[in-house]
Every structure is written in structure tokens, then in C-alpha cells.
Copies of this chain bind each other. A is one copy, B any other.
Amino acid sequence: MNPVPIQDSYPDGFSHCYGCGRFNERGLQIKSYWDGEEAVCTFTPRPYHIALPGYVYGGLIASLIDCHCIATAAAAAYRAEGREIGSEPRLRYVTAALHVDYARPTPLGVPLEVRAWATEIKGRKVVVMATLSAEGEVCARGEVVAVQMPEHMLPGQTQER
């Protein structure tokens, strides 16, 4: 498994996201790691990420799947071009569509593992599928349609660190 999180390759201007921005002190700061043919992320919800007593809030599950799939889209697109993650020109994606199927209630208090892989890379679009598991059982499945970020949204292509 690549020991550097995909999100660490995002330029500083792309790193404020509530879900995965390393500069968002109030955010989730999830980290996604490339692992062979897929990316993996582990996150333990806080006690207040609750739906009903004992179960994880579905909006958090959607958020984890969203951010992790967007990171996976970037990593998969770099790989398809035979380039190192984070190399110039930058590839950064946004969500066009998000779908989550909640297969079973997700227990609160244990680490959740999200795994995602690209199923289609075509032009500016990457389709990514994901599973979210707790204690070895799949609790939710997701699909994200990711599109390369429009130029007018880019806060600057240079990594300033």
C-alpha cells in the first residue's frame, strides 16, 4: 500500500474540504491510500455522528464515500496516464453524482473501512464504486460519477508547501 495519502498530493488551495482537507480543522480529514487496484480509507466516527443510538449517521456515510471516491478517481486517472499521483498537470475531480445504498445499519463505535475502485475512465469522467464495511460486514455500497474540475473552480495549480 502506498504510504502517502492521496489527499496529501492535493495542492494547498484544494485542501480545505470539510471531508478530506488537511487544513480544515473542523472537518473529517479523511485519508485515502492507494492499494494495488483500489483505494482504502479507515475512519472511526465520533460519538456525535449518530443516527439512532448505536448507529452511524447516513449523511456521514455518504460523505466518506463521496470524498474517498473523489480521491480514488484522481489516483485512478493518474494511473491510467502512467503518471505519479500529484504530478503536473494536476488531476482533481468533483462530484457530479453520488449514490449510496444502505444495506444494513452501520454500528457506531468501531472503525469503518471504505474501499473504492474505478470502473470507467473516459475523457474528463471517472466512475468509482465503493463499499463501506464495519467489523468485516458491508453496510453500504456507493457509486460516484466524478468529473475533472472545471477550470474556473481551480484555486491555483501550484502546490505551495
A→B interface (CB under 8 Å)? 13-14, 16-19, 21, 24-27, 46, 48-53, 55, 57-60, 62-64, 66-67, 94-102, 105, 153, 155
Contact = CB atoms under 8 A, between A and B. Distances in A.
Classify the secondary structure of A's interface with B: mixed
A18 B59 contact: yes
Contact of A24 (B48, B62, B67, B95): B48
Given A17-B51, A24-B50, A62-B63, 9 more contacts: A13-B53, A16-B50, A18-B51, A18-B59, A59-B64, A62-B62, A62-B66, A95-B102, A99-B99
A98 B100 contact: yes
Nearest to A59: B63
B26 A48 contact: yes
7 contacts: A13-B52, A18-B49, A27-B48, A51-B94, A59-B59, A94-B102, A98-B102
B66 A58 contact: yes
Contacts of A59: 18-19, 59-60, 62-64, 66-67
